[in-house]
Structure 1
């Protein structure tokens, strides 16, 4: 009986295509996945007022940030939460 339960749990474990974490479908909630809905871009920010740390080889107009929230760290926690989405879901 216990072995059957473990097999069922393995079958429902998936990888989220947004945050790349593994999750169990039975515990997927509206706040399970934290991600950025937009890309990390390299361009001038719309507000034109922010100071950006640029490397010496970067062009002077370059700015690097998430287009959705303005976070400048590519490793920044996502600004949006939602359900995990599996690669199987289309």
Structure 2
């Protein structure tokens, strides 16, 4: 997160409308914020049995046999998976 904070600070020197998105945690310029600027997961990364019961999940040695780890919104099993939705960036300053 240090790199992102530095990027926001550096960009802030050049442009006063640069903010940090609270969904994707990336810096953005308010002037170029579009409905497809932010890519994020609208749900949590969970560890539980998947509803369809048909998918194979790679389990760690400490995981119970029924555990599944995935994003509840799209089923992606990698915690670093690219977001499945796009929308405007939302600043920490926004309500």
**CA-atom RMSD in angstroms:** 1.7
Q: Does the 8 A contact of 1:45 with 1:63 survive in 2?
A: yes
CA distance in structure 1 between the partners assigned to 2:80 and 2:12 by the alignment: 34
**Which has more radius of gyration?**
1
In structure 1, stretches of 5+ residues that fail to align are 1-5
The alignment of Structure 1 onto Structure 2 pairs a total of residues equal to 85
Task: Check 1:7–1:67 CA distance in 2 against 1; reply closer, same or farther (3 A cut).
Answer: closer
Q: Following superposition, which runs of at least 4 residues in structure 1 exceed 3 angstroms of deviation?
A: 6-9
Cα drift, residue 10 of structure 1: 2.7
In structure 2, stretches of 5+ residues that fail to align are 1-10
CA distance in structure 2 between the partners assigned to 1:38 and 1:14 by the alignment: 23
Normalising by the residue count of structure 2, what TM-score does the alignment of the two structures yield?
0.85
**1:81 aligned to 2:91?**
no
Q: Does the 8 A contact of 1:43 with 1:61 survive in 2?
A: yes
Cα drift, residue 28 of structure 1: 0.1
